[in-house]
Structure formats: C-alpha cells, structure tokens
C-alpha cells in the first residue's frame, strides 16, 4: 500500500520558529519566501509553497563561504538583516544588509530560487538597512531603505545614481520606520513600512502616491496592523510584505511572536512568519485577523510537506535546515570522516565562544523533545539549547562523564554531573509547560536535560527555567536553536531526532 500523504496543515504561524522579516514573491502558481538569518550560516533560508500555508525549505541563498563571511568579532544578532526577494525579467533578485565588519548592502541573483545564487554584488551607495527593490514602467529600479529614503540603482552592478531622497517615515514621532516595500497596485504606488520598533509597539503602516518617488499620502487608518495594547496571542506584529493568493485575493506575510508565561511574557522561538488576509476599501488595504486557525482559506491546500525531524547523517552534507554559528568549515563539520555519523572538531572551547563548532535546527514548537547519540570518547561536546553566547543550556559528554551547564548572562554554572558507562550515550532535552501553580512570575517553559537508556527510559539531571533563554531576557533578534557542538577534540553524532509534543 503506498504511503499516505500527511494531512494539510492550516495554522498560523505558517513558518514557526526563528523565521523573521519575511519577504515573498509570486511567480505563476509558485510562491517563494525568504527570512533574515543574522549570525547563522548558511544565510537566508528559501521556502517554496503553492498555497501560502504549507512551506518547504528548498535551500539557502548564501550557502558558500565566498558569499557570506561573518567574523568572530561580530556579536550575536549581527549579520544578515531583512532580505527583499523579487522576480523581474526572468530572474530572482535579492537585496540584503550584512551588518558585520566589511558587510554593507549586497545583491544576489538566481534563475532558480533553490540555487545556486550568484556571488554578491556590493551596493556601497545604498545607505542604511532593510533595502527594497522595485522597478517602474520604464525599467528604472528604485532602492528604498529604512528611514525611509530612496535612491535609483542599477541592480546588476550595484551602481547608484544621485543622492538618497526622503520619502515618508510613518506617523510623526513613531520610532524605527523600517522594512519598506514599494509596489505598483492599480493606479497607485504603495509604500508599506514597519514602525514602532520590533517589540510590543510594532506595527505596519502604508502610504500611496502617483509615482514611485512620491509624494506619498498616508492611509487615514494607519497603522493598518498592530497588536500593541491588546491581549492577542500574537504580538510584535510588523515587518510585512504583500502578495496575491491563488484566487487573486490579497494577503500579507508578517513577523510576530507568541509570548508565554506570566508578566511581561517571554517569547522563546524568535520572531515567526504569520499570514493575514487583506481586503481593499477606497484604495487602501484593510488587514484582517492574524488568526491561529487558517482552515477557512478560500482555496484548497497542498499536501503538507514531510517534516525532516530525524537525521541519520547518511548524506554527504547536512540538509538546508541545519545552521551553524558564523561559519561551517568542512574540515570541522563533516559526515564523511566517519560514515553515518556527523563529526565535529572543536575550535572554540565552549558555546560561550563566538567560534564554537555547532550545527543545529531551529526550535519550532513550544513543547518538543530533542535527542542525539553521541560518542565523546575522543573529545567533549553535546546537545545544546542556544539563544546566543551568553544564554544557553547544554548537556555535555566527555568520556564517562555527563554534565549539565547553564550560561545566563555573566554566570556559568555546572548544574549537575553524572557518570555513565564508557561508549556512546544518548543525550536528551525536553521543553514543556512549567509545572503548576502558574502565576504572574511563571516562566514560559521548563527545559529538562538528561540521558536516555537503551530502553528509552529518561533520567533527568536538571530542570531549568526557560525564561533565561528568551529575547525578553537576552535581547537581540533571534530565537532558540537546538543543536550539537564540539568543545574539545573530535565528537561524533550517530543521529539527531526532534519530536514535537502537544503544543
């Protein structure tokens, strides 16, 4: 009997976990979406969908060292900010900011969004971050950036012409006008921006004009989307992009977070990608509910793609969902040295170091379990829940010793230690709701770290408060990543498994 296809999924977020700053384009019946990747390599994940709901990662834009260099001196939450993806004259164009030393604004192109993408073209004349590309009727290309200002550009060379001119920066006094996107829709050019900062005050506003250079008239109903001051389960809504659905209706992709726990609420998965309906009234977009249930979409859903939750490391290279901190040298991270195993060779001495050798997957569910079988007889390494260098929990093996380490800000503590038999050991971490009673100071989740016997019996070594691995505590722009690392010598991993629990 042939294997049954998994049922279609119709829930928000459409890309759960650390997938911020979505930019989308439609080519025929196909949709392509990219997100920011910050300090992780490879950079800028690329997703494909036919229904705007079920997405499959088909690659990464910046997947070669010559395309993306993120120095160890770059802090976490630096790196790759806010790409814009567009399709023009048979090619995909992507412009993005590398916020690290020697970075700046870069343009890459491809005929196939799955890659390969070109080497970057630098655009030194483009100021600021969050660049956007839009072509007018005569083929002139305009680059608009946070602020909000605009300059004419030749995207094939990165050459700019003239000086940047101010456009429209949202509500008077609103902070951080950013994430501009410019569109020709009907008789008008529309300038969509985010404002209010990417925290609880985030929102989306829009203006329109007769030409791509303005002048722009603000929408009387601005902000057209914000959840500030509400008890909606999705907060920090902003950084949006517009697209038409399969039936010609309009939709918005945007980032948001799902805070949990008591006051002030902690989000741990990072900024996620959500979908919201858009209608038009008097020539202005009206954004509908950012609903968690999308089952009432007016078109049939595609089969949900199979989720890659288990990896036996049988392939010559890691799949596109695996990300590393700043770089991934082939000689330090390989599946070929010990066939059927992932081998990591240490460089930094712990996850506290910016050059640690690490390979992980985004945490995409509030309740989940991750496990790995590790052979640390020649080194020291283990399984980590990482937010950044200063905020992570690990369960680490070295020879016949296993220990749990918590790093929170300037504090680094060995929480628990246990002797184990010689040989490979299964390390596990489970993330679940905190135990009752719940109150205003209850954290978002509990992170349990331990070892697993051959019969599946789990021995917990530590249960830690998840709030310390949240953006509200650590700051920054990323979300949790669960993965494998080497802190000394060579560490071998036979498999990695990620299992969603009831969310």
- The predicted structure's pLDDT at residue 162: 95
Candidates 10, 20, 11; CA nearest to 269 is: 20
Exposure string over 334-360, b if 16+ CB within 10 A, otherwise e: bbeeeeebbbbbbbbebbebbbbbbbb
Average of per-residue pLDDT across 201-227? 98
Q: Is 7 part of a structural domain of the chain?
A: no
Q: Is 96 part of a structural domain of the chain?
A: yes
Residues 115 and 236 in one domain: yes
Residues 335 and 449 in one domain: yes
Candidates 327, 333, 388, 389; CA nearest to 68 is: 327
Residues 283 and 320 in one domain: no
Q: Is 301 part of a structural domain of the chain?
A: no
Indicate the pTM of the whole model: 0.96
Residues 281 and 317 in one domain: no
Residues 329 and 212 in one domain: no
Domain tally for the chain?
2
Residues with catalytic roles: 21, 178
Q: Is 16 part of a structural domain of the chain?
A: no
For 112-151, write each residue's pLDDT tens digit.
999 999 999 999 999 999 999 999 999 999 999 999 999 9
Residues 365 and 216 in one domain: no
Residues 42 and 116 in one domain: yes
Beta strands in 282-390 (DSSP E): 284-287, 310-311, 324-325, 333-334, 342-345, 357-362, 368-375, 379-388
DSSP per position, 16-29: -SS--S-EEEEETT
Mean pLDDT, the chain, rounded, equals 96
Domain at 195, CATH number: 2.115.10.20
Give the contacts of 330 (CB within 8 A, at least 6 positions apart). Answer: none
Q: Is 13 part of a structural domain of the chain?
A: no
Residues 350 and 280 in one domain: no
- The predicted structure's pLDDT at residue 424: 97
Q: Is 330 part of a structural domain of the chain?
A: yes
Q: Is 490 part of a structural domain of the chain?
A: yes
Domain at 342, CATH number: 2.60.120.200
Residues 353 and 421 in one domain: yes
| Structural domain boundaries enclosing 410 | 310-500
How far from the centroid of its chain's Cα atoms is residue 201's Cα?
20
Helix, coil or strand: residue 469: helix
CA dist., res. 168 & res. 174, Å (int): 12
Residues 152 and 226 in one domain: yes
Give the number of other Cβ atoms within 10 Å of residue 210's Cβ.
12
Q: Is 198 part of a structural domain of the chain?
A: yes
The pLDDT > 90 percentage for the chain reads: 93
């Amino acid at each position: 009997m042939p294997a049954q296809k998994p049922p279609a999924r119709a829930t928000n977020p459409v890309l759960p976990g650390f997938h911020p700053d979505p930019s989308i384009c439609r080519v025929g019946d196909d949709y392509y979406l990219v997100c920011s990747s910050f300090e992780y390599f490879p950079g800028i994940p690329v997703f494909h969908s036919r229904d705007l709901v079920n997405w499959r990662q088909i690659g990464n834009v910046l997947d070669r060292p010559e395309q993306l260099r993120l120095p160890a001196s770059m802090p976490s939450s630096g790196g790759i900010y806010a790409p814009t993806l567009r399709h023009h004259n048979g090619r995909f164009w992507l412009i993005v900011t590398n916020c690290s030393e020697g970075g700046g604004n870069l343009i890459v192109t491809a005929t196939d969004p799955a890659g390969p993408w070109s080497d970057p073209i630098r655009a030194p004349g483009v100021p600021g971050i969050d660049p956007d590309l839009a072509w007018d009727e005569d083929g002139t290309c305009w680059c608009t950036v946070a602020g909000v200002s605009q300059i004419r550009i030749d995207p094939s060379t990165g050459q700019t012409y003239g000086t940047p001119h101010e456009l429209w920066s949202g509500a008077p006094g609103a902070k951080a006008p950013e994430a501009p996107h410019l569109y020709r829709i009907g008789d008008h050019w529309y300038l969509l921006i985010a404002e209010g900062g990417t925290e609880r005050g985030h929102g989306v506003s829009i203006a329109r004009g007769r030409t791509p250079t303005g002048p722009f008239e603000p929408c009387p109903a601005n902000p057209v989307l914000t959840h500030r001051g509400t008890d909606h389960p999705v907060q920090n809504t902003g950084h949006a992009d517009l697209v038409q659905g399969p039936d010609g209706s309009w939709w918005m992709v945007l980032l948001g977070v799902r805070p949990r726990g008591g006051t002030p609420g902690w989000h741990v998965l990072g900024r996620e990608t959500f979908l919201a309906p858009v209608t038009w009234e008097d020539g202005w977009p009206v954004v509908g509910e950012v609903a968690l249930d999308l089952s009432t979409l007016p078109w049939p859903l595609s089969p949900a793609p199979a989720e890659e939750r288990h990896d036996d490391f049988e392939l010559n290279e890691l799949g596109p969902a695996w990300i590393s901190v700043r770089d991934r040298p082939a000689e330090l991270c390989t599946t070929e040295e010990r066939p059927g195993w992932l081998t990591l060779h240490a460089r930094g001495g712990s996850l506290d170091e910016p050059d640690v050798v690490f390979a992980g997957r985004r945490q995409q569910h509030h309740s989940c379990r991750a496990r790995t079988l590790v052979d640390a007889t020649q080194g020291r390494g283990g399984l980590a829940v990482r937010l950044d260098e200063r905020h992570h929990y690990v369960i680490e093996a070295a020879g016949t010793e296993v220990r749990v380490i918590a790093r929170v800000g300037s504090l680094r503590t060995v929480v628990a230690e246990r002797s184990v038999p010689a040989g490979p050991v299964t390390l596990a971490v489970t993330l679940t709701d905190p135990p009752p009673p719940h109150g205003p100071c209850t954290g978002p989740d509990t992170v349990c770290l331990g070892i697993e016997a051959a019969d599946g019996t789990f021995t917990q070594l530590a249960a830690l408060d998840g709030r310390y691995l949240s953006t509200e505590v650590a700051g920054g722009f990323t979300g949790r990543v669960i993965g494998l690392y080497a802190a000394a010598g060579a560490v071998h991993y036979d498999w990695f498994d990620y299992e969603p629990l009831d969310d």
